[in-house]
């Protein structure tokens, strides 16, 4: 259910949101609480300006006590709005607990931050990966394409506004038996519409995401993309 926020301080079922005196709050967070920036949506700060000429920014701070603060400009086009929470004011600060901050970092595909600062919360140990852009984290679980077996590839070539495009869908199985689907381009719109829209704006950011699957869901995708049950079991057997 959407929330319309126009008060000084709002505590809904999900977040504590401050919409007044934001500058003073930030000063307190940075100088008194000695909070450090752990994630900045560089694209929004660098490239995107809203209709009124305001740069769109999302910056996540963490203080020494382990509390988190997400500073947002233009909340109407932000993580909050994508979560169904609408704020009228031009900026706000969201106070988060650790689990909420981890959810945010996962949502923004901040894999590097999660592995460097919160590896114990994700897998219980430090994790080394050769290519960060091939590594995703969903629901605190790591899905590394380089350490998983490729089961099937589906591609589709097409032209969009005169430019050649190729949809890619790849089904993987992790070493511990979990399935996930890696997708790009138009296929991304199906599994993560918010990421698809952001990538359309980015232009230079790789537009890809993954969808964790149960085995029955993996089988349905495999057969839908031209395979059969026998071939599915043969391909998965080769990966073991």
Residue pair 116/39 in contact by the 8 Å Cβ criterion:
no
Task: Identify the pLDDT of residue 164.
Answer: 80
Q: Tell me, yes or no, whether 120 lies in a domain.
A: no
- Residues 213, 155, single domain; the answer is yes
- Residues 33, 93, single domain; the answer is yes
Q: Tell me, yes or no, whether 128 lies in a domain.
A: no
Please determine, for residue 203, whether its predicted confidence score (pLDDT) is greater than 80.
no
CA–CA separation, 148 and 53 (whole Å): 45
- Residues 88, 139, single domain; the answer is no
- Residues 32, 94, single domain; the answer is yes
DSSP 84: T
pLDDT, one tens digit per residue, over 89-136 is 889 999 999 999 999 999 999 998 999 899 888 876 667 766 777 899
Return the structure tokens found at 42: 């560089």
Q: Tell me, yes or no, whether 232 lies in a domain.
A: yes
Q: Which residue has the higher pLDDT, 179 or 51?
A: 179
Q: Tell me, yes or no, whether 72 lies in a domain.
A: yes
Q: Tell me, yes or no, whether 147 lies in a domain.
A: yes
Stretch among 28-37, 62-71, 87-96, 231-240 having the lowest mean pLDDT: 231-240
pLDDT, one tens digit per residue, over 62-74 is 999 999 999 998 8
- Residues 78, 42, single domain; the answer is yes
Residue 10 banded pLDDT, cuts 50, 70, 90: low
Q: Tell me, yes or no, whether 75 lies in a domain.
A: yes
- Residues 155, 204, single domain; the answer is yes
Task: Identify the pLDDT of residue 137.
Answer: 94
Residue 54 banded pLDDT, cuts 50, 70, 90: low
Stretch among 74-78, 137-141, 179-183, 219-223 having the lowest mean pLDDT: 74-78
Mean pLDDT across the chain, nearest whole number? 84
- Residues 61, 104, single domain; the answer is yes
Rg (CA), the chain: 20
Residue pair 129/50 in contact by the 8 Å Cβ criterion:
no
Segment 41-47 mean pLDDT: 55
Q: Tell me, yes or no, whether 126 lies in a domain.
A: no
Task: Identify the pLDDT of residue 178.
Answer: 96
> Cα-flanking dihedrals φ and ψ of residue 96, to 5°?
-125, 150
Please determine, for residue 220, whether its predicted confidence score (pLDDT) is greater than 90.
yes
Give the chain's domain count: 2
Stretch among 5-14, 121-130, 189-198 having the lowest mean pLDDT: 5-14
Last residue of a domain, one of 92, 108, 124: 108
Task: Identify the pLDDT of residue 44.
Answer: 54
Q: Which residue has the higher pLDDT, 6 or 105?
A: 105
Task: Identify the pLDDT of residue 201.
Answer: 65
- Residues 19, 55, single domain; the answer is yes
Which residue range(s) make up the domain with 154? 133-238
- Residues 83, 146, single domain; the answer is no
> Cα-flanking dihedrals φ and ψ of residue 84, to 5°?
85, 20
Q: Tell me, yes or no, whether 26 lies in a domain.
A: yes
Beta strands, E only, the chain: 3-5, 9-11, 16-18, 36-40, 58-62, 68-73, 85-87, 91-96, 135-138, 141-144, 148-160, 163-174, 179-184, 208-213
Return the structure tokens found at 232: 């599915």
- Residues 182, 138, single domain; the answer is yes
Last residue of a domain, one of 108, 124, 159: 108
- Residues 175, 212, single domain; the answer is yes
- Residues 52, 137, single domain; the answer is no
Residue 213 banded pLDDT, cuts 50, 70, 90: very high
């Amino acid at each position: 259910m959407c929330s319309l926020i126009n008060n000084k301080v709002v505590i809904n079922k999900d977040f504590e949101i401050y919409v007044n005196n934001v500058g003073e709050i930030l000063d307190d967070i940075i100088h008194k609480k000695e909070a450090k920036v752990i994630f900045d949506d560089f694209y929004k700060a660098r490239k995107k300006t809203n209709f009124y000429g305001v740069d769109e920014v999302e910056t996540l701070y963490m203080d020494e006590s382990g509390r988190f603060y997400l500073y947002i400009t233009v909340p109407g086009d932000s993580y909050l709005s994508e979560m169904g929470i609408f704020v009228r004011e031009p900026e706000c600060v969201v106070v988060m607990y650790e689990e909420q901050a981890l959810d945010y970092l996962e949502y923004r595909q901040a894999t590097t931050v999660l592995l460097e600062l919160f590896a114990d919360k994700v897998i219980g140990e430090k994790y080394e990966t050769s290519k960060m852009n091939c590594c995703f984290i969903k629901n605190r679980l790591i899905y590394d394409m380089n350490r998983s077996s490729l089961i099937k590839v589906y591609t589709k070539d097409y032209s969009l506004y005169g430019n050649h495009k190729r949809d890619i869908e790849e089904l993987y199985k992790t070493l511990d038996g979990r399935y996930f689907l890696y997708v790009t381009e138009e296929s991304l719109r199906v599994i993560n519409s918010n990421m698809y829209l952001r990538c359309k704006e980015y232009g230079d950011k790789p537009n890809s995401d993954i969808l964790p699957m149960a085995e029955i869901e993996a089988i349905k995708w495999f057969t839908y993309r031209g395979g059969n049950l026998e071939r599915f079991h043969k391909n998965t057997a080769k990966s073991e």
